[in-house]
Amino acid sequence: MRTQVGIVGAGPAGLLLSHLLHLQGIDSVILEARTRDYVQHRIRAGLMEHDSAALLRDAGVGARMDREGLVHEGIVLRFGGRSHRIPLAELSGGKTVMIYGQHEVVKDLIAARLAAGTPILFEASDVSVHDVATATPSIRFRHDGRDHTLACDIIAGCDGFHGICRPSLPAGHLSVFDRGYPFGWLGILAEVAPSNDELVYASHDNGFALLTMRSPTVSRLYLQCAPDEDVGAWSDDRIWAELQTRLADRDGFVLKEGPITQKGVTAMRSFVVEPMRAGRLFLLGDAAHIVPPTGAKGMNLAFSDVAILARALTAWYRTGNSDGLEAYSETALRRAWKAERFSWWMTSLLHKFDRHTPFERRLQQAELDYVTTSRAAATTLAENYVGLPLI
């Protein structure tokens, strides 16, 4: 088999990269270890920055997103029993965020790729990358009971944190920056209309809570918990009682309750590898960096990587100019570290840390007060939340 760009992973990064390359006349083949059904129903965060939504729209795959997605012009910070709205659009020159499930983005991209005839080989096993330091890299894999070799010019590692591409980089090539957090998120899906039109981030003495949504009829809510929390210890009644406590305010906020259809605990970490490239192998998305979900940057950061690499590959194939490819890691990491900083800051601002002394807790509360009373501080939050430029 032969293609120009071999892509490992059919998540949002791999699918969008393939689509953008197709629009520029560049061929690709996508290899995915999971089934199509699994990939399309894998629930992940679904908040898109302004430029991420525009990227899908400009690429011709944003029609359903615009019909079904929820545009938000602000968020609410709640602490001390008071709610404080951050007017994102007003503070960022009109930019907004879009609530649209990541699995819905995946469905749209898979449909577009298959309609264009791009091969997506689901259930590809025993995937390995070879000769990335040469001009003739390849990917070996097993599919439909047969062994295959995919020869290509470039390999894009879009296979996530647990994928095979990052470990395939030469030993000693990577610098790893890793930070764990002493808590996780207990997340639920509930069949109930959202209790607020915009996301509510709550800092409470019991711990953090988040009210978000998937659609006008489905709510997504989170509670700070231990990273090894036993989900079985949380009955529906206990979950709703704790959410009622942490999300309450003095203005009569009413949290709507409904049937819980999904529960799970998400551990939290910050992770970056440098560089994001070795020879002809390029890492994108979670293969290169992980952010805590507080700032809603995961998929958006992957889209930034995709936009940078797609532009560099287009220039290389059209003119032979490799400057963009040579600068890929440096360019992508510059934005990645800004997203890491913002996600760390939001996490530190809103969560309860067991190690906090009363002095540190007071500082945290003072920071929340400053952010919600200073236009300059709120503007900084807003411009990061709606998204820095993708490239």
Catalytic residues: 72, 201, 293, 297, 385
Q: What is the DSSP annotation of 159-221?
A: S-TTSSTGGGSPTT--EEEEEEEEEEEEEEEESS--SSSS-EEEE-TT--EEEEEEETTEEEE
Residues near 296 by Cβ (< 8 Å), separated by ≥ 6?
Answer: 45, 47, 97, 385
Token pair 């590898």 is at which residue? 273
DSSP designation for 227:
T
- Measure the CA–CA gap between 120 and 354, rounded to whole angstroms: 46
Q: Which helix (H) or strand (E) holds 28?
A: strand 28-31
Residues near 79 by Cβ (< 8 Å), separated by ≥ 6?
Answer: 202, 203, 204, 365, 368
The answer to whether 283 touches 271, Cβ cutoff 8 Å, is no
Phi, psi of 125 (to 5 degrees): -115, 170
What phi-psi label fits residue 266: left (phi over 0), alpha (psi between -120 and 50 degrees) or beta? Answer: beta
Residues near 63 by Cβ (< 8 Å), separated by ≥ 6?
Answer: none
- Measure the CA–CA gap between 346 and 99, rounded to whole angstroms: 19
Using alpha carbons only, give the angle 241, 245, 246 rounded to the nearest 5 degrees.
120
Residue among 386, 178, 384 nearest 267 (CA): 178
- Strand residue runs (E) in 92-134: 97-99, 120-121, 125-130
Token pair 């305010």 is at which residue? 249
Q: CA-based Rg of the chain, rounded to a whole angstrom?
A: 21
